[in-house]
Structure 1
């Protein structure tokens, strides 16, 4: 089965900006503004317009429009808000926003000067590449040019391999994968746990993704993980409830995955930390303490012992950062670090690594207008920044690259400088700070992309580096593998050791020092080792490691027993607590009833007092009435005798 890819080179600035402005129809006329608003949302159209004004005319110097013209006033405020942003930075930001809103604009533009595009047809039924004396012969490809002619060529950048063999050192190979691969993307996160590469999130056509896929690195089989989202005490199997993100970091931790930061459609104020449980296949929000960093993406997150070191990135307002934060994974507490010395300038999409559990290295990255090639070192014990002289073949400026460490070697792959992709895979010996080139590819292949992921694993007992995805004019979902040769890196360490500052080179691995002491460089430049003594040393160290491992296992069993006892005690205490709570609830209910009865009695008592007063009043009124009646009777009797005499009625006999 064959598939087609389209390759073309890109324009540099300012030509790329002018091509983008012509594509969206910005020529300064009023009709061009209307055409712009018809293609994009109001917010995107306004931002593109103001960036175009800043790039072509400079900072806003026109008077503020009248409040009766809200459209022009909105344009003026947006332009005024850019301040003194340099013209070239406005150009790059203009192109970046256009690529997010319309990723396919560049191939469709008619005003940009494109190289003759070729359709590369890769026939997957070709014979396997053969290797003789360490040389590799790439896969034959049929190339169809735009005039219809057919030619055959060989691509020696990436060799197509069987999934059962990755046999070439220091050369990228493309193993044949099975299963349904993930959608092409960049700015995703990837991590390895138990020979499986987990890949989460990313950006495709300007849309953030939230899916989780796993690649089995033993048989190169893709599968999608159906996840659940746990919110508080509720659980749902709908992955749509998980926030989609890009530019985040995926860190393996204690058989779990930690997703830190990232750009989202609706960013929060602080940087979120999500945790994925491999056993339950569920996402949840990790509860942390202290003051977390502000929300951001494109930062570096480095696991140092039991802490995460976060540096730089870009916040939701597109402001670049160079702050430093540490998350203690034991206490889940954030701490902002105020390091001394000269820190790296604000940047995002850089790479970071740790050496000897003490030195944090920051390489490259970019701002809106510039890509960097500087190397900074932070001493995590003294919290002091420093910048050392780099040795060897220093890499070109780049951003969006990825890096992994194997021993003292730091491998850097991909990235770009807004003009072209970085085609060289380089390695830095972190003890000597000496760079060397491992291999190189052409600029149009996925390995020369921005936003790709890079992980390290083992295959047939040897270390391998696995790259996935990226963006170099189109989105990729290819898997490529590099098996590095450690001999060359060890030789570069010995040859360049004298150029390293004493404070940095003093921290070395004890095993490496023992091996190096048994190696000498002959006059012909060949490295000869005394194998017997090395094997004896390694066996002795192996026995010590096994003894230490047994002690750790015993301590682990003891801790498990103690934890079981603590769990039992906690269960009993919890039952007692529940019993006390029930008793307390019953007492509270009884007290409430008594309070109600007391209130009723008080009300009755008040009623009785009122009745008593009314009774006394009635008794007094009755006494007064009795007295009045007696008086009236007396008067009647006295007046009745006179009238009776007048009437001839004799008075009553007494």
Structure 2
């Protein structure tokens, strides 16, 4: 790699932000939207740009987006399905929205398309909701938004009004609704669920393991909870999970990520007493036990960040805030924290050893040209990650 280009790449880093969307596809982290603070003002990140981080090479790039570009916003719910990134809901300058957009991440063009449903009705306006991806469908749960009074009285068990926020017959509040979008049919549906659902909430965390979608914590009125629920995505039956061990404290604006067929990883958030958190926990859905997870980022609290599953069950956390953003909204971050959740395969251990030491071991440098072209290209990409000029530290 050209040294001048290498220095330029090492200095290009995505804007700091919170309330954004991020997905991982083919060892690339795609980051869109959210907001940052400039001179004590909250400013949305431009919606016509997408930042791409090469998790193997450690290089950021930014691309212009075209097409039916969504408004700049935060709190939208993003997910990856079939090479596309879908976003639904969120909050823009006009308040919460119920629009849906998608962009193909595989063709390098980054053209937005607005989704107009062919049948069914989109959920009401909301943000800070979650999504499970299952069987080719996008399944949304909860969030904070507004409804008209007639809808609240007829669906009172699914919506808790925020008594401090209402205008005429329009009320804001928390919901526990389940809505399903089928991208193939272009249809919305609201399945009839069974069992006792979680209380309405927003700023919670969700993950999909097998045929179940999990909901963890979140804000319910003035309370931040630590409860755990699962929804069978075939029978639509809710189950509350009572842990057989001590559980993390209640929180909102945290993340939960599936790291195996039976385990999910919780990180960060805002605690019941409004402290930004940096703790990590593993939950085993078979034993129903929480276990605190030691990691090297105890000094990096995060809330309203994103967390994505990466290579070899790594979890990639990007952005978020290290402050209680409702009081001091200046602590937005732009670093990528990579959590190793299990021992890496031997090939990756060897690859990283070479990448870390090739600059100091002459024998390795001489042997590199003897490698097969495909392997050499992969190694050169990884060597770039450990380049000495790199200013941002990523594990």
Structure 2 length normalisation: TM-score? 0.70
Deviations 1:385-423 (A, max 9, x none): 121221234111110011211222111111012521222
In the TM superposition, residue 320 of structure 1 has moved relative to its aligned partner by 0.9
Structure whose CA Rg is larger: 1
Deviations 1:79-135 (A, max 9, x none): xxxxxxxxxxxxxxxxxxxxxxxxxxxxxxxxxxxxxxxxxxxxxxxxxxxxxxxxx
Q: What is the aligned partner in structure 1 of residue 175 from structure 2?
A: 321
Q: What is the aligned partner in structure 2 of residue 413 from structure 1?
A: 267
SS of 1:319's partner is strand
Q: What is the aligned partner in structure 2 of residue 359 from structure 1?
A: 212
Describe the shift of the 1:482–1:442 C-alpha distance in structure 2 as closer, same or farther (beyond 3 A). closer
Deviations 1:65-90 (A, max 9, x none): xxxxxxxxxxxxxxxxxxxxxxxxxx
Q: What is the aligned partner in structure 2 of residue 277 from structure 1?
A: 104
Q: Work out the CA distance in 2 between the residues paired with 1:430 and 1:375.
A: 10
Q: Work out the CA distance in 2 between the residues paired with 1:368 and 1:472.
A: 23
Q: Work out the CA distance in 1 between the residues paired with 2:10 and 2:36.
A: 22
Q: Work out the CA distance in 1 between the residues paired with 2:52 and 2:62.
A: 6
Q: Work out the CA distance in 1 between the residues paired with 2:12 and 2:196.
A: 47
Say which structure is richer in strand.
2
Q: Work out the CA distance in 1 between the residues paired with 2:131 and 2:296.
A: 28
The alignment covers a number of residue pairs equal to 294
SS of 1:178's partner is helix
Pick one of 289, 293, 306 that aligns with 2:136.
306
Q: Is the 8 A contact 1:184 1:477 kept in 2?
A: yes
Q: What is the aligned partner in structure 2 of residue 296 from structure 1?
A: 126
Is residue 305 of structure 2 the alignment partner of residue 452 of structure 1?
yes
Q: What is the aligned partner in structure 1 of residue 74 from structure 2?
A: 246
Q: What is the aligned partner in structure 2 of residue 256 from structure 1?
A: 84
In the TM superposition, residue 441 of structure 1 has moved relative to its aligned partner by 6.5
Pick one of 315, 325, 329 that aligns with 1:465.
315
Q: What is the aligned partner in structure 1 of residue 43 from structure 2?
A: 207
Q: Is the 8 A contact 1:416 1:422 kept in 2?
A: yes
Is residue 361 of structure 2 the alignment partner of residue 482 of structure 1?
no
In the TM superposition, residue 179 of structure 1 has moved relative to its aligned partner by 4.3
Is residue 247 of structure 2 the alignment partner of residue 394 of structure 1?
yes
SS of 1:471's partner is coil
Q: Is the 8 A contact 1:313 1:322 kept in 2?
A: yes
In the TM superposition, residue 267 of structure 1 has moved relative to its aligned partner by 4.2
Is residue 235 of structure 2 the alignment partner of residue 382 of structure 1?
yes
Q: Work out the CA distance in 1 between the residues paired with 2:244 and 2:91.
A: 35
Q: Work out the CA distance in 2 between the residues paired with 1:329 and 1:284.
A: 12
Q: What is the aligned partner in structure 1 of residue 193 from structure 2?
A: 339
Deviations 1:334-390 (A, max 9, x none): 11123122211111111112222x222111011341100001121223222121221
Q: Work out the CA distance in 2 between the residues paired with 1:182 and 1:324.
A: 33
In the TM superposition, residue 214 of structure 1 has moved relative to its aligned partner by 0.5
SS of 1:476's partner is coil
Q: Is the 8 A contact 1:325 1:336 kept in 2?
A: yes
Q: Which runs of 5+ in 2 are unaligned?
A: 1-8, 147-170, 324-330, 345-395
Q: Work out the CA distance in 1 between the residues paired with 2:244 and 2:297.
A: 25
Q: Is the 8 A contact 1:423 1:440 kept in 2?
A: no
Q: Work out the CA distance in 2 between the residues paired with 1:297 and 1:373.
A: 20
Q: Work out the CA distance in 2 between the residues paired with 1:324 and 1:243.
A: 25
Q: Is the 8 A contact 2:70 2:101 kept in 1?
A: no
In the TM superposition, residue 484 of structure 1 has moved relative to its aligned partner by 1.1
Q: Is the 8 A contact 1:189 1:202 kept in 2?
A: yes
